Amino acid sequence: MSLAHFIAKRIHFNPASKQGKNVSKPAVRIATIGIALGLAVMLISIAVVTGFKNEISRKVFGFGSHIQITALTNNQTYELPPITVTDSLLNSLRTVPNITYAEKYGIKPAIIKTNNQFQGVVLKGVDSHYNWDFFANSLIEGDLPVITDSTTCNQVIISETLANSLQLTVGQKLLTYFIQNNVRVRQFNVVGIYRTGLIEFDKSFIVGDIKHVQQLNQWTDNQVSGIELKVNELDLLEETGYNVYQQTAYTYSDTNNNPYYTRTAMELQPQIFSWLALLDTNIVVILTLMMIVSGFTMTSGLLILILEKSQLIGTLKSMGADNWTIRKIFLYQSAYLIGKGMLWGNAIALVLCLAQYYGGIIALDPTIYFVDTVPIELSLTAWLLLNAGVAFITLCMMLLPSHIIAKISPAKAMKFD
């Protein structure tokens, strides 16, 4: 143990040093509280922002996939021209690196009418190979449709928003009107109710068998509205989307010679992902402000410590101690105080994050934020990196105020009281 470290420990941990008149005690306490609160705010901010981004992205990707392939058209409605999807095309898409699976889907606008209400909706049709994991996790009542290749399934799931609006429950019949050259009617059985929190989707979509869409549009079994693809690594989504585009570029569907049109979820929902990107800017501002506040409070505390220990500084200088040795004494003391503040900051942040994660204490309006409570996601890597960054930057900020020690004269300091 070095001399500077030994003296710093004696000053910080010796009870005798805390007796009597101690001017630095309130300042040190304020500095410690500043570090604790600043770190807690930073940790909570990162947990909340990460939770928001991951939860909303998960919902958008779960409902609409990471990448979609449709026909290239100027049509901005849900009445899309079909594309022809063969097994060879699906197999070639599945060989693209980072693609986990590719699925066919069909969409068809319709009107639901009950005894007292009517509502415009979109039927999303899927086949027997559809991955129901997202809707299974979002299901709040009932079961998922059982879709097979052999027969047409009349089972559908609807959102909680539609169920409340139309006063529907699981087990009820649902009359759905499709407007084409003439009105065509389909009766569906409501077997499940889901809630995603994405209001724009929840108030519009019902999910059922793709064969209904194909029959209504008089399509063949190979004709669909599009293909949904899921990826494994989100960081490679843009690159994967380009690879899929390369796979289908200059390739025409057999139907009406419509070229394939490849888009990622970011291109399909730019407003949502632009909002999520803005959260990164907010977190940078919060981290910067909290770091500055914590650094200034700690700097003030260290200056008061130095002034209070002027006699000790003068004594050490008169005994031959150089400025750097004495500066290290106060840097060690700063490290102890910063460590104490960081321990409290971590404890506060962890308690509040766990309370929100398990209790959902702070509620949100899902029509604005797409979630009903503030989402929390704890990342050990981010937690450790932020702690290391705060400790390093704060200690570096302590080097400047400790430089004042070099200007203290031993003769004058030993007379200072």
Distance CA 281, CA 277 (A): 7
**Highest averaged pLDDT of the listed ranges 277-281, 345-349, 395-399:** 345-349
pLDDT in tens, 142-186: 999 999 988 999 999 999 989 998 888 999 998 999 987 788 899
pLDDT-derived band at 400 (thresholds 50, 70, 90) equals confident
Residue 269: which of 85, 8, 46, 61 has the closest Cα? 61
Distance CA 258, CA 96 (A): 22
pLDDT above 80 (res 412)? no
pLDDT above 90 (res 349)? yes
pLDDT in tens, 9-25: 776 666 444 444 455 67
Give the pairing of strands 155-159 and 99-113.
Answer: unpaired
- For residue 415, the model assigns a pLDDT of 58
DSSP state of 403: G
User: Once rounded to an integer, what is the mean pLDDT over residues 322-340?
Assistant: 80
Query: To 5 degrees, how large is the angle CA 341–CA 347–CA 350?
Result: 135
Q: CB-based burial of residue 200 (10 Å sphere; 0-12 exposed, 13-18 middle, 19+ buried)?
A: middle
pLDDT top residue among 74 and 214: 214
Residues 6+ apart with CB under 8 A from 75: 81
Return the SS3 of 80.
Answer: coil
Cβ(172)–Cβ(109) below 8 Å: no
- For residue 19, the model assigns a pLDDT of 44
Residue 326: which of 257, 386, 403 has the closest Cα? 403
Return the SS3 of 118.
Answer: strand
pLDDT above 50 (res 71)? yes
- Return the minimum-mean-pLDDT range out of 67-81, 125-139, 151-165, 333-347: 67-81
pLDDT top residue among 317 and 119: 119
- For residue 406, the model assigns a pLDDT of 61
Distance CA 265, CA 247 (A): 18
- For residue 1, the model assigns a pLDDT of 61
pLDDT top residue among 180 and 195: 195
- For residue 364, the model assigns a pLDDT of 86
DSSP state of 142: E
Distance CA 299, CA 370 (A): 42
- For residue 336, the model assigns a pLDDT of 84
- For residue 256, the model assigns a pLDDT of 58
Mean pLDDT of the chain: 84
Write down the pTM of the prediction.
0.78
pLDDT above 90 (res 247)? no
Where are the alpha helices (H) located in 309-398, listed in sequence order? 310-318, 323-359, 366-369, 380-397
pLDDT above 80 (res 118)? yes
Domain residue extents for the chain: 3-59+272-415, 73-258
DSSP state of 363: B
Instruction: Please give the distance of CA 417 from its chain centroid, rounded to a whole number.
Output: 55
Q: Mind giving me the DSSP string for 205-271?
A: EEEEEHHHHHHHTT--TTEESEEEEEES-GGGHHHHHHHHHHHHTT-B-SSTTPBEEEEEHHHHSHH
DSSP state of 77: S
Return the SS3 of 97.
Answer: coil
Distance CA 316, CA 410 (A): 8
- For residue 407, the model assigns a pLDDT of 65
Residues 6+ apart with CB under 8 A from 196: 59, 62, 63, 138, 159, 202
What's the Cα-to-Cα distance from 22 to each of 303, 398, 404, rounded to whole Å?
14, 21, 21
Q: Which helix (H) or strand (E) holds 71?
A: strand 67-71
Q: CB-based burial of residue 218 (10 Å sphere; 0-12 exposed, 13-18 middle, 19+ buried)?
A: exposed
User: Once rounded to an integer, what is the mean pLDDT over residues 335-348?
Assistant: 89
Q: Which helix (H) or strand (E) holds 311?
A: helix 310-318
- Return the minimum-mean-pLDDT range out of 17-26, 138-147, 330-339: 17-26
Distance CA 268, CA 64 (A): 9
Residues 6+ apart with CB under 8 A from 134: 62, 63
pLDDT above 50 (res 133)? yes
pLDDT-derived band at 7 (thresholds 50, 70, 90) equals confident
- Return the minimum-mean-pLDDT range out of 89-93, 340-344, 391-395, 410-414: 410-414
Record the tokens describing residue 260, joined without a space.
């394939």
pLDDT-derived band at 47 (thresholds 50, 70, 90) equals very high
Q: CB-based burial of residue 260 (10 Å sphere; 0-12 exposed, 13-18 middle, 19+ buried)?
A: buried
Residue 240: which of 98, 42, 110 has the closest Cα? 98
Query: To 5 degrees, how large is the angle CA 102–CA 80–CA 86?
Result: 35
pLDDT above 70 (res 417)? no
Q: CB-based burial of residue 98 (10 Å sphere; 0-12 exposed, 13-18 middle, 19+ buried)?
A: buried
Distance CA 192, CA 135 (A): 10
User: Once rounded to an integer, what is the mean pLDDT over residues 375-403?
Assistant: 86
Distance CA 334, CA 35 (A): 11
- For residue 22, the model assigns a pLDDT of 56
